[in-house]
Amino acid sequence: MSSFSSPVTASFTDQLDVAAELLALLHDTGTEPRTDTQLEALTLAVAADLPVLLWGEPGIGKTAALTQLAEALDLPLTTVIASVHEPSDFSGLPVVGDDPAVQGVPMAPPDWAVRLVHAGRGLLFLDELSTAPPAVQAALLRLVLERRVGALRLPPGVRIVAAANPRSSAADGWELSAPLANRFVHLQWVHDHDVVVRGLGGTWPRASLPRLDPRKLTEAVAFARRAVCGLLTARPRLVHQLPGSEARRGGPWPSPRSWDMALRLTAFAVAAGTSRDVLSMLVRGTVGDGPGLELLASLDRMDLPDPETLLADPAAAVLPERGDLRQAALDGVVEAVRRQPSKDRWDAAWAILAAAVDTGAPDLVVVPASTLAAQRRADWDVPDLIERLAGAVSLSQRAVAA
């Protein structure tokens, strides 16, 4: 047999080399700093060491985003397709030793878990989570929450991100079990037209961990705790609300566990100076839309002036410019008078309402003024300010009607 390659074989090899060169050029893409809300939310949750679940239609770019994230953070990426594994692949395989009666039967971890432990760090990507049957989902519970695979504990440097397609577009899809769903930060992954076009042109957004300000860490923790605890004190029914439908149980919903996650994300967002849009995406993806929006409103109210400070010196009162925050501040003043009624406090509240009319929309004063007026005691004189308030509000209403 001749040791020389035939012309056909040589030509075929040459073409493969040319094809490989062309493929290398196609894969040669760059990155650029670019505002991307969902990518920023993902990196913040990864920095906070919380498991993240990306929901999106097939082909939307979930896997590509995780690959790029791993490269940007210089983390080895380990991909595990949950649906093609057995429960024992996550809970560990029993291995009989020399003397099981004395040593027991250890649960041996799979090779990918051993590699992560040896590396000491990495990004564990659990793909196709919504096609994993219930038995596999149950086995994943300990991995996602405790970072344990069999007898092995994953090191702190390992982060967990999963991806899933909605059941309607998943191949033989299952609804996510409530216990597993409640362990994730759920992010809806959608495509941005400009990002896709520019990325196909060779430049994708750059993923980077948020820059945490060391000077804000203590303040951020205190702020997050006040916000979450204040909301749950006022709304105790929000502490735990298991959704009634199976589909909703497979998404974000409030529980002590998910509120703890929301608190952590809020602290990280404050320390990083994250935008409200990013924080909204994260808290709604942790405790659900309704409770998440209530938490965001609670955060706004934390920036409101103290009603007692306003009542102590009405002449120096500074009210928020934004309408909803101004309304909340005025409601807080009226509520403070209701809790501790006195003639002096009642008069001070009217002075604050008068200042609100002079510096903003009079319509905002209608409800708090009506509530305050209803608190009048028989021996309290009607303040002269009431007529001016009534006239300003009436004039404003006529102007709107015209």
Which tens digits make up the pLDDT trace of 160-201? Answer: 999 998 866 655 667 889 999 999 999 998 888 888 888 888
Q: Tokens 């649906």 — which residue?
A: 83
Check residue 187 and give its pLDDT.
Answer: 96
Tell me how far apart the alpha carbons of residues 339 and 391 are, in angstroms, rounded to a whole number. Answer: 28
Q: Which helix (H) or strand (E) holds 245?
A: none
Contact 123, 77 (CB under 8 A): yes
Last residue of a domain, one of 157, 181, 205: 205
User: For the chain, how many structural domains are there in total?
Assistant: 3
3-state secondary structure 91-104: HCEECCCCCHHHHC
By three-state DSSP, how is residue 188 classified?
strand
**Residue 1 resides in a domain:** no
Same domain, yes or no, for 47 and 195?
yes
Check residue 8 and give its pLDDT.
Answer: 58
Same domain, yes or no, for 158 and 143?
yes
Check residue 246 and give its pLDDT.
Answer: 84
Any residues with CB less than 8 A from the CB of 376 and at least 6 apart, and which?
346, 382
Same domain, yes or no, for 199 and 229?
no
Alpha-carbon radius of gyration of the chain? 29
Q: What is the DSSP string of 34-59?
A: ---HHHHHHHHHHHTT--EEEE--TT
Check residue 168 and give its pLDDT.
Answer: 64
- In 3D space, the residue among 84, 260, 297 whose CA is nearest the CA of residue 172 turns out to be 84
Residue 318 burial (C-beta neighbours within 10 Å; 0-12, 13-18, 19+): exposed
Domain that holds residue 248: 214-302
Same domain, yes or no, for 43 and 188?
yes
**Residue 379 resides in a domain:** yes
Rounded to the nearest angstrom, the gap between the alpha carbon of residue 27 and the centroid of all alpha carbons in its chain is 32
Same domain, yes or no, for 294 and 327?
no
**Residue 220 resides in a domain:** yes
Tell me how far apart the alpha carbons of residues 315 and 174 are, in angstroms, rounded to a whole number. Answer: 62
Sign of CA dihedral 89, 94, 98, 101: positive
Check residue 395 and give its pLDDT.
Answer: 46
Same domain, yes or no, for 298 and 311?
no
By three-state DSSP, how is residue 172 classified?
coil
Same domain, yes or no, for 85 and 169?
yes
- In 3D space, the residue among 133, 125, 130, 142 whose CA is nearest the CA of residue 179 turns out to be 142
Same domain, yes or no, for 143 and 277?
no
Same domain, yes or no, for 111 and 42?
yes
Tell me how far apart the alpha carbons of residues 33 and 207 are, in angstroms, rounded to a whole number. Answer: 8
Check residue 107 and give its pLDDT.
Answer: 74
Check residue 398 and give its pLDDT.
Answer: 46
**Residue 125 resides in a domain:** yes
Residue 361 burial (C-beta neighbours within 10 Å; 0-12, 13-18, 19+): middle
Check residue 317 and give its pLDDT.
Answer: 87
Same domain, yes or no, for 231 and 186?
no
Check residue 68 and give its pLDDT.
Answer: 82
Last residue of a domain, one of 302, 330, 364: 302
**Residue 21 resides in a domain:** no
Cα–Cα distances in angstroms (integers) from residue 159 to residues 43, 134, 280, 310, 362, in the given order: 11, 23, 22, 47, 52
Last residue of a domain, one of 162, 188, 205: 205
Give per-10-residue mean pLDDT for the chain (402 aa).
56 85 89 85 95 89 84 89 84 69 71 91 92 89 89 91 79 80 94 84 83 92 91 87 90 97 97 94 96 89 82 90 84 89 91 87 83 86 70 50 46
pTM for the model stands at: 0.74
Residue 82 belongs to domain with CATH number: 3.40.50.300
Same domain, yes or no, for 313 and 354?
yes
